[in-house]
Structure 1
Amino acid sequence: MRLKLSSLLAAVSLLCGPAFAAPALPDRADIRDSGFVYCVSGQVNTFNPQKVSSGLIVDTLAAQIYDRLLDVDPYTYRLVPELAESWEVLDNGATYRFHLRRHVPFQRTAWFTPTRDFNADDVIFTFGRIFNRDHPWHNVNGSSFPYFDSLQFADSVESVRKLDNQTVEFRLKRPDASFLWHLATHYASITSAEYAARLTQDDRQEQLDRQPVGTGPFQLSDYRSGQYVRLQRHPGYWRGKPLMPQVVVDLGSGGTGRLSKLLTGECDVLAWPAASQLTILRDDPRLRLTLRPGMNIAWLAFNTAKPPLDNPEVRHALALAINNQRLMQSIYYGTAETAASMLPRASWAYDNDAKITEYNPQEARARLKALGLEKPDPQAVGAHQLAGVESQPAENGGAYPGGYGADWR
């Protein structure tokens, strides 16, 4: 099966159990015979991941509908080819030349029938729309491309050129070691230039982001706002026809409602369970829990503009007094790791030599005393504040003080 859920870092699968009809979904028997139901909490505001900073399209749907030039191996965290078969880094990192994969068809949908395969024109169109403020498509459905805007990428790219039908070249204004990694995100999903031209001809440009056409393993079949997204397999998918004919993404419930659907058989897969639900899930023999570290990280931030926190020695002493393991166990139920740096282990730029600050309250007191801070007057963190933190994993990607773990998005 060629179902890609590359952003899914935690999920629970129902291995067996009864099937119940879900009123908001298409016919349950039809789904059970030819696919599965994927339960998730979220909304779909667009079907183009370039136009948002987060959400269901980025976390789940983009990997099914679209491809990118590059991908990241989820186990080794190395860049691997996708729509680009190979690439060259030239001019000391200021120029990137991509050699594109041949015989990659776009999806044939109810709203568009492609007449050609993926080629350099699609890459030029995709990134021209994002980077070039004068591009005729830049302002369609709004001029914001949040991910690339936040990086000021338009000011970093000098040109994107088509060398031939299977070769494109990006020239940067200055070398950027992170450039390839940005192209491997779902925000850099490739869209069809031919589809855009047809929509321009029909004066229906806004449909590009609402009725998607990509090269991914599944294509949009039906969408009911607040209820479900039905995906059907793309029979011409370049990696081989997906074995599963369809996937239904159930949007109809959140919180414990999704867990109830899993346990009663209305869902086959539950995405992003809350950490507080993991004990229930682990103990149920019908379920299989999949978990691996993600890219999210959170931290306790000091206000370094005010004394005594403007002194690095004070900050280090306080770091020794933070019991990360206790926080992670009580709030995240053992699903997190202590961070050694501001970057998670999954990041390409992670420093493997970074050291974790060990919990040592005696040493913390001694250092604070030596710094003349024997009687600190901290503001206590109340139980209601910790409860607020505890509620974050399901909604905010599992943020917690001083560590990183599974990204529930």
Structure 2
Amino acid sequence: MRALMLLISVFATTLMLTSSVLATDLQTDIHQQGFVYCINGTPHAFNPQMARHGLTVDTLSAQLYDRLLGVDSYNYQLTSELAEKWQILDNGATFRFQLRKNVSFQTTSWFTPSRMMNADDVIFSFQRIFNKEHAYHNVNGNNYPYFDSLQLAQAIKSIKKLDDHNIEFRLRAPDASFLWHLATHYAPILSAEYAEALTQKNQQAEIDHKPVGTGPFMLKQYRFNQYIRFFRHNQYWKGLPGMQQVVVDLGASGTGRISKLLTGECDVLAYPPANQLTILRNDPRFRLTLRPGMNLAYLALNTRKPPLNNIQVRRAIALAINYQRLMQAIYYGTAETAPSILPRASWAYDQSAQITKYNPNQARKILQQLGIKQMELSLWVPTAPHSYNPSPLKTAELIQTDLAKVGIKINIIPAEGRFQDYNSMEMNHDLTLSGWTTDSNDPDSFLRPILSCAAIDS
């Protein structure tokens, strides 16, 4: 198991611009038709079922897909989405959902639906994840990280279609967190009809790369590492979206994104560099939105490798890190050192939990008692910023400096995406900077995906 020592609960930040101009490669009329949303990241696929984290889950999923249930972003209560009503039976072991009628799938250049969303689509979407014998389970790999970490496939006894607009999930045992897992962005409803059409053309892999959902916007154009253009779904069941199109600009990071905001190329900037917030707060053209985030940054330690299999060594590392300096140098007052794996927004947060206080003298004493004078460790670090860590490499350098003061040499190894995931899965690392974000405040959405034994493999 990997021990989690450094816990940083982060606030999500969004900035909005009131007047702007756009670069010509994204069309000069975009501001009359919609807006430009700037964020750093690269989607490996558009289907969040197969995503571990990042842009697909945080941003793209909500535009393309709907879920059975939603979560109110302010009070974190369950809301109805494609499931209009639901029932909980058998003391929480059976869940029945009544689906909305007249919900249209998107009509794209690669698929034209012939019917409305129904129970077949819901059955397909979840059977693909949970049934290893399903025709689409192994398409584009057989990893569904969020649900694999929960071991939810083993918990589900059956998924049954009662009629075209009613379905039933039966669990092997009651589970109070089940509804919350269906409400995350990892649980989109896909089109079974689209999947059948792809099978007939032997193009099954396109289901995750050329998306078809019921969401408010549909994919129109994607240029790798540049931008994603969405056009509105004119038959969207909640009503006509107010904008004709949205462009997600992927082309700049760091100060480059701030420059795009200042010059008017961006209307909305997600997760701006925290060290620029003072400048932006004082500019009357911008509106800053700041609210507690359901996310967490952490330093993960590989306890299968000596000397990290010794809990006292891990404690020394935790004591040697100057958390307050990280809060100021990385987050500029938009985060707090977390005393537990659960953020404050979770209903299960323990108000009495205490943070690990910075104490390098105690760290040295522990290492001396263990007879350790020098130690050398590798630290895998993602290169791209995330909602939970706007500057991973700088974070790693600060940790490197802190640990050097107590005799621990850290070799920083930059890595990203599947490369980092692969090396972590191989368990050949010592430390890795990571994080987690979800739209559910149920503690199970943090505890099992991060701490369970199944999460190591997923």
TM-score by length of 1: 0.81
Distance 1:184 1:301 in 2: 27
Is the contact made by 1:35 and 1:244 (CA closer than 8 Å) also made in structure 2?
A: yes
CA 1:110 to 1:306, structure 2 compared with 1: closer, same or farther past 3 Å?
Answer: closer
Distance 2:162 2:172 in 1: 19
What is the aligned counterpart of 1:397 among 374, 385, 388? 388
Question: Does residue 337 of the first structure (1) align with residue 336 of the second (2)?
Answer: yes
- 1:351 equivalent in structure 2: 349
Unaligned runs of 5+ in 1: 1-7
- 2:59 equivalent in structure 1: 60
What is the aligned counterpart of 2:15 among 9, 12, 17? 12
Distance 2:247 2:322 in 1: 42
Q: 2:123 is paired with a residue of what secondary structure?
A: helix
Shift in Å, 1:189: 0.4
Shift in Å, 1:353: 4.2
Q: 1:187 is paired with a residue of what secondary structure?
A: coil
Per-residue displacement from partner, 1:25-59 (whole Å, max 9, x unpaired)?
2x12x212111111111112212111221232211
Is the contact made by 1:9 and 1:408 (CA closer than 8 Å) also made in structure 2?
A: no
Mean Cα deviation higher: 150-159 or 122-131: 150-159
Shift in Å, 1:92: 2.1
- 1:284 equivalent in structure 2: 283
CA 1:307 to 1:80, structure 2 compared with 1: closer, same or farther past 3 Å?
Answer: closer
Shift in Å, 1:94: 1.7
- 2:219 equivalent in structure 1: 220
Shift in Å, 1:175: 2.2
Distance 2:437 2:135 in 1: 37
Question: Does residue 21 of the first structure (1) align with residue 12 of the second (2)?
Answer: no
Q: 2:294 is paired with a residue of what secondary structure?
A: coil
- 1:86 equivalent in structure 2: 85
Alignment of 1:202-241 (within 5 A): 202-241=201-240
- 1:5 equivalent in structure 2: none
Question: Does residue 274 of the first structure (1) align with residue 276 of the second (2)?
Answer: no
Distance 1:269 1:177 in 2: 37
Mean Cα deviation higher: 138-147 or 301-310: 301-310
Is the contact made by 1:132 and 1:138 (CA closer than 8 Å) also made in structure 2?
A: yes
Per-residue displacement from partner, 1:276-324 (whole Å, max 9, x unpaired)?
22222222221111121112224578989647579xxxx7x99999875
CA 1:237 to 1:9, structure 2 compared with 1: closer, same or farther past 3 Å?
Answer: farther
CA 1:275 to 1:377, structure 2 compared with 1: closer, same or farther past 3 Å?
Answer: farther
Q: Which amino acid in 1 is paired with 2:185? A: H
Per-residue displacement from partner, 1:340-388 (whole Å, max 9, x unpaired)?
432112335x235444459698xx98xx99x9x99x99999xxxx9xx9
Is the contact made by 1:9 and 1:294 (CA closer than 8 Å) also made in structure 2?
A: yes
Shift in Å, 1:199: 1.7
- 2:99 equivalent in structure 1: 100
Alignment of 1:46-57 (within 5 A): 46-57=45-56
- 1:200 equivalent in structure 2: 199
Is the contact made by 2:15 and 2:270 (CA closer than 8 Å) also made in structure 1?
A: yes
Per-residue displacement from partner, 1:196-233 (whole Å, max 9, x unpaired)?
12222232222211211111111111112222111111
CA 1:307 to 1:95, structure 2 compared with 1: closer, same or farther past 3 Å?
Answer: closer
- 1:122 equivalent in structure 2: 121
Distance 1:300 1:145 in 2: 23
Question: Does residue 154 of the first structure (1) align with residue 153 of the second (2)?
Answer: yes
Q: 2:91 is paired with a residue of what secondary structure?
A: helix
Is the contact made by 1:69 and 1:84 (CA closer than 8 Å) also made in structure 2?
A: yes
Question: Does residue 257 of the first structure (1) align with residue 248 of the second (2)?
Answer: no
CA 1:359 to 1:254, structure 2 compared with 1: closer, same or farther past 3 Å?
Answer: closer
Is the contact made by 1:10 and 1:292 (CA closer than 8 Å) also made in structure 2?
A: yes
Is the contact made by 2:17 and 2:267 (CA closer than 8 Å) also made in structure 1?
A: yes
Distance 1:86 1:73 in 2: 16
Shift in Å, 1:169: 1.0
Higher strand content, 1 or 2: 2
Q: Which amino acid in 2 is paired with 1:123? A: V
Per-residue displacement from partner, 1:45-83 (whole Å, max 9, x unpaired)?
212111221232211111001000111111111111111
Distance 1:62 1:163 in 2: 28
% identical aligned pairs: 57
Is the contact made by 2:66 and 2:215 (CA closer than 8 Å) also made in structure 1?
A: yes
CA 1:308 to 1:222, structure 2 compared with 1: closer, same or farther past 3 Å?
Answer: closer
CA 1:139 to 1:102, structure 2 compared with 1: closer, same or farther past 3 Å?
Answer: same
Q: 1:38 is paired with a residue of what secondary structure?
A: strand
Distance 1:358 1:201 in 2: 57
CA 1:331 to 1:166, structure 2 compared with 1: closer, same or farther past 3 Å?
Answer: same
- Aligned alpha-carbon RMSD (Å): 3.7
Q: Which amino acid in 1 is paired with 2:14? A: A
CA 1:21 to 1:357, structure 2 compared with 1: closer, same or farther past 3 Å?
Answer: closer
Is the contact made by 2:296 and 2:436 (CA closer than 8 Å) also made in structure 1?
A: no
CA 1:258 to 1:298, structure 2 compared with 1: closer, same or farther past 3 Å?
Answer: closer
Distance 2:312 2:352 in 1: 25
Shift in Å, 1:21: 2.2
Q: 1:64 is paired with a residue of what secondary structure?
A: helix
Is the contact made by 1:107 and 1:234 (CA closer than 8 Å) also made in structure 2?
A: yes
Is the contact made by 2:323 and 2:358 (CA closer than 8 Å) also made in structure 1?
A: no
